[in-house]
């Protein structure tokens, strides 16, 4: 055998043995590596971990918010609102004449008509902050009378409250009922002025509940409320509260100074014509 041939065979053998050894070593190590891979826990990607944290925080925040709302809710009873406690107003002065929804001397030279809704937030402001000033300065002194007209535009609870106030007026308690509704207003169609609560208010005010409940249940003043509403539309009333100070229209819960100016102007014209 020649020298060159022998060298090629030796070279072929020296290159083949390490490859086979490497393969065998790799095969021997494979089970251990597979075992390590099985034991090693899979880690979520950084993006997935971040999303998980954010989602968890959001869920916790929602749960906390729900607990706060539930703990603060003043009305609850199997889906129907029930008052935990009503705010009852201070009785109005007994020396101011009243009849139905009219407050003041029937012969007063000036008539102030208010078209309003018991669920309207601006009506609440007018009823509890502005009207008392008008009453003190002009109604109690016999210069003007204040007439409430129903203009329920905020939904069914507005209609129920309007009818209930008329039932209270039947017992000469409209203005106390008026004040109580505004003091306990919590929103629009949120269950505050459902029928059951309106009856409880009558009881809290010491009304004849049997007569009041019958009045409300039979819808005794439904037509009267509708008549007031239609009258407001004919007078081009589009929002609440809207006042007619004599012939002067005042829209919204304006500052008392605006009402005072309108009243003084109307009283001045009235005195000039007398």
Q: Mean pLDDT for the chain? A: 80
pTM (global) more than 0.95 = no
pLDDT in tens, 24-49: 545 555 554 555 545 455 555 555 55
CB 245 within 8 A of CB 110: yes
Lowest model confidence (mean pLDDT) among 55-64, 160-169, 184-193, 258-267: 55-64
Task: Give the tokens for residue 198.
Answer: 């309106």
Q: What is the pLDDT of residue 64?
A: 42
Mean pLDDT highest for which of 53-62, 69-78, 180-189? Answer: 180-189
| One-character DSSP codes across the chain | --HHHHHHHHHHHHHHHHHHHHHHHHHHHHHHHHHHHHHSPPPPPHHHHHHHHHHHHHHHHHHHHHHHHHHH-SB-STTS--BS----PPPPPTTS-EETTEES-TT-SEEEEEEE-TT-HHHHHIIIIIHHHHIIIIITTTSEEEEEEE---S-HHHHHHHHHHHHHHTTT-HHHHHHHHHHT--SSSSSTTSHHHHHHHHHHTT--HHHHHHHHHTTTTHHHHHHHHHHHHHTT--SSSEEEETTEEEESS--HHHHHHHHHHHHHHHHHH-
CB 172 within 8 A of CB 178: no
pLDDT in tens, 134-183: 999 999 999 999 999 999 999 999 999 999 999 999 999 999 999 999 99
Lowest model confidence (mean pLDDT) among 66-75, 88-97, 242-251: 66-75
Average pLDDT rounded to a whole number, residues 203-230: 97
Average pLDDT rounded to a whole number, residues 54-58: 50
Average pLDDT rounded to a whole number, residues 206-227: 98
- pLDDT classification of 92: cutoffs 50, 70, 90: confident
């Amino acid at each position: 055998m020649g020298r060159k041939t022998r060298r090629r065979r030796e070279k072929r053998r020296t290159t083949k043995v390490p490859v086979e050894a490497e393969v065998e070593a790799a095969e021997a190590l494979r089970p251990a590596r597979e075992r390590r891979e099985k034991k090693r826990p899979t880690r979520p990607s950084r993006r997935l971990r971040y999303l998980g944290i954010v989602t968890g925080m959001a869920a916790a925040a929602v749960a906390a918010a729900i607990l706060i709302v539930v703990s603060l809710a003043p009305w609850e009873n199997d889906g129907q609102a029930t008052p935990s406690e009503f705010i009852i107003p201070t009785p109005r002065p007994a020396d101011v004449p009243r009849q139905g929804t009219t407050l003041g001397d029937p012969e007063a030279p000036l008539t102030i008509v208010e078209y309003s809704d018991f669920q309207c937030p601006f009506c609440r402001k007018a009823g509890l902050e502005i009207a008392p000033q008008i009453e003190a300065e002009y109604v109690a002194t016999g210069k003007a009378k204040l007439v409430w007209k129903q203009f329920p535009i905020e939904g069914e609870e507005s209609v129920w409250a309007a009818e209930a106030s008329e039932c209270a007026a039947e017992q000469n308690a409209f203005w106390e009922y008026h004040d109580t509704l505004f003091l306990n207003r919590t929103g629009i169609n949120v269950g505050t002025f459902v029928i059951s609560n309106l009856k409880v208010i009558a009881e809290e005010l010491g009304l004849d509940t049997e007569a009041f409940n019958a009045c409300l249940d039979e819808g005794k003043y439904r037509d009267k409320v509708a008549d007031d509403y239609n009258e407001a539309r004919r007078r081009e009333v589009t929002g609440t509260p809207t006042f007619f100070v004599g012939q002067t229209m005042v829209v919204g819960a304006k500052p008392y100074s605006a009402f005072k100016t309108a009243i003084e102007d109307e009283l001045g014209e009235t005195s000039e014509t007398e």
